[in-house]
Amino acid sequence: MFENKSTIIFDMDGTLIDSVGVWNQVDLRLIQTLGGPAMAEGDIQQRRERFLKEHRDAEKPYLSYCEELGKTYASAWQAEDILQERYRIAQHFLKEVVDYKPGAPEVLHAFKKDGKTLVIASTTRRGNMEVYRKENKNIRGKAPLDSCFTRIYTQEDAPEIKPSPAIYLKVIEDMGLSKEECFIFEDSLAGAAAARNAGIDFAVIYDRYSDADREELDQMTPYQFAHWKDVLSVIRRDM
């Protein structure tokens, strides 16, 4: 599966790291700070993903999302202030709670040993990625980003968020790659659609927070893995 692929591209949230639930918790606290009610995490996630999909062409989709939250809960806060509060709340989670999914570090090390070039292409903000790079002990202790990845692309590097293929097309353009020599790992419907729209081979790693889209994901995804350990088995077989 990977023997003819020189470059392996990874999404971050929900794919390499177990973080989608963290952002649901962050948004729950934010909503309550704005005067809103307690909500089920699944409802928060579905509303956020629906809004971001509808506003994916916005210049700053997450700023627009925070502006919408302010309107919904009749907050006097400006959108930029709400966005800053969201990331203030997130700091504890980003530094102390977020961790790799089981088996992900071993897969990264195996790909590196096999001579693959590893790249992150994520809609995660650059500021959050810097926390993962420099301050998250879970990530730094198992597979430090700087030693594993040749390049890291974040939300600021692409004009449109997934399912637009913009970030993947930027990777292959910047690095002078062909689509045929790349392989992408994703977890969500938007991410899988971005990979498909880019015309690059991809696989989906199971994430429970994408269960609402499972039927559609199953239909569009050529390769699926329940766990990273299954990917590791394929790498070892190819090697």
- Phi, psi at residue 67, to the nearest 5°? -60, -40
pTM: 0.85
Q: Tokens standing for 55?
A: 């506003």
- Phi, psi at residue 187, to the nearest 5°? -135, -20
Sequence-distant (≥ 6) Cβ neighbours of residue 81 within 8 angstroms: none
Which residues are bridge partners to 139 per DSSP? none
Q: Where are the beta strands (DSSP E) in the chain?
A: 7-10, 117-121, 151-153, 182-186, 201-205, 223-225
Residue keyed to tokens 């790291």: 17
pLDDT in tens, the chain (239 residues): 999 999 999 999 999 999 888 999 999 999 999 999 999 988 999 999 899 989 988 888 999 999 999 999 999 999 999 999 999 999 989 999 999 999 999 999 999 999 999 999 999 989 999 999 999 999 999 999 999 999 999 999 998 999 999 999 999 999 999 999 999 999 999 999 999 999 999 999 999 999 999 999 999 999 999 999 999 999 999 87
